[in-house]
Structure 1
Amino acid sequence: MTDPATAENRVFDAARLERLRIVLVGAQHPGNIGAAARAMKVMGLHDLVLVAPERYPDPEASARASGADDVLEAARVYDTLDAAIGDCALAIGASARRRSTHWPMVDARTAAMRAIDVAQDQTVALVFGRERSGLENAELDLCQLHLQVPTNPDYRSLNLAAAVQVVAYELRMAAGDAPEAAPAHEPVSTADMEGLFGHWQDVLVASGFLDPEAPGVLMRRVRRLFNRAAPDRTELNILRGALRALDPRRRPLRGAVNADDSSADRG
């Protein structure tokens, strides 16, 4: 058993918790919004973002918050997930239902450790989907990491607020063990990664490699490849520079020697 005195004296890195954002996409029941706010405040999280909630603000949300009214009052509402996480260096999407597309999954503990590491100096979003259907594939595409809470295979249904509570607990525990060393590289924002993916698609279409009418499967694999690699700022700049150089539509560099001309000169 854990020594109560040891647990009580654990030093948490509150600054990292401040850089963690809980994002609820398309929440259908206002009570779950309030219960999620309560779960957050209990674990020291305060940044709540709502994407296109069906009913908010709502008295039931305030009632279920049970003292976490400050979290609700500070909550920001966006129309799209892109706008809600555009400034985040890492977005982690929670997904419970099985899908035809294979998604690389980690458990909540592993995801929390990664989130706390990045939150040393960057904002991290933990994204939760709708009560009935969860996150859509296009929304998971915007997340670099996907987490799943292990549940009873005969009864997988986990309430939205309960899922937030489980993940918030793991985040707080991970913050207690956060390393002091600086991260190995400077993370880039979700918006910057979306710019990279758009650049890839544009150049692949221009080169004739990608069918513009059916980019889905190939571009999803490109996303997964670079999300696994987690490029830093310098690496992202290298990739963007290489794409510009390889773009078949680019103009020749000023002063460049044509291969035919140079061979003629040698003759």
Structure 2
Amino acid sequence: MTERSYFAQAGGHPAQTELMTGRAVFTESYAVLPAGTMRDITTSYLPFWDDTRLWVIARPLTGFAETFSQYVMEVGPGGGSDRGETEPGVEGVIFVVGGAVELSLDGRTHLLGQGGFAYLPAGKGWSLRNRGAEPARFHWIRKLYEPVEGLGRPDPIISSDAEVTPTEMPDTEGRWATTRFVDPADLRHDMHVTIVTFQPGGVIPFEETHVMEHGLYVLEGKAVYKLNRDWVEVEAGDFMWLRAFCPQACYAGGPGPFRYLLYKDVNRHAAFLPRR
């Protein structure tokens, strides 16, 4: 496995001499939050999390993300929480992009370094600490779990980018592959968080238009991404939100791999709105 790099926000402030015009876009069908929007002034804080700040890059909101929230977490040395998730019924995924964290779940402790992955089922209490000397940075994706009568609940998963062999898309000569931490045939899961990798020159050769809502955080590299009717340049540290049925396609620009952390909702009936 080739050694991977993962973009991790460090905050800070731009110089007063910098131009304010950037690549941030917010539309009814997609949004782009460039890495440069994640500054000290845009951080948030959470109850029961010590020495921790975060960037909220997606949240349930009319006209924006509907099925999930996503945070970029920064936990200082010794920081963390003994009450990781406080909302009943919410499942989560953690993916580490910088430093390391100690995750305690079901009476066991796991050390997650860069590329570390954890699926945290709804109803499972867990805690997290940074035992290192440097800040730890990770993505925390949260979703309200949708149980199905007669279908069991998913188990915790502890894994890493390095442990999973990417699955190549057919007829792409390895230019397009997906790292799957969850078996796609396991219908207990109602969300998938994967890593998509394009080698230089790799493409999504048609306009994908489908029911899944997406969150895409660029871990490495750069590309030109088709979002609805627009072609947008993106690079490591940028985040994209795509609503359901937003057309999308991609050209990987090189010179190295283009990789992103991908969220999508799966395996459930389309919900009907309550009758008025």
TM-score (norm 2): 0.24
Question: Comparing both structures, which one devotes a greater share of its residues to helix?
Answer: 1
Bigger relative contact order (CA 8 A; separation at least 6): 1
TM-score (norm 1): 0.24
| Structure with greater Cα Rg | 1
Question: Comparing both structures, which one devotes a greater share of its residues to strand?
Answer: 2
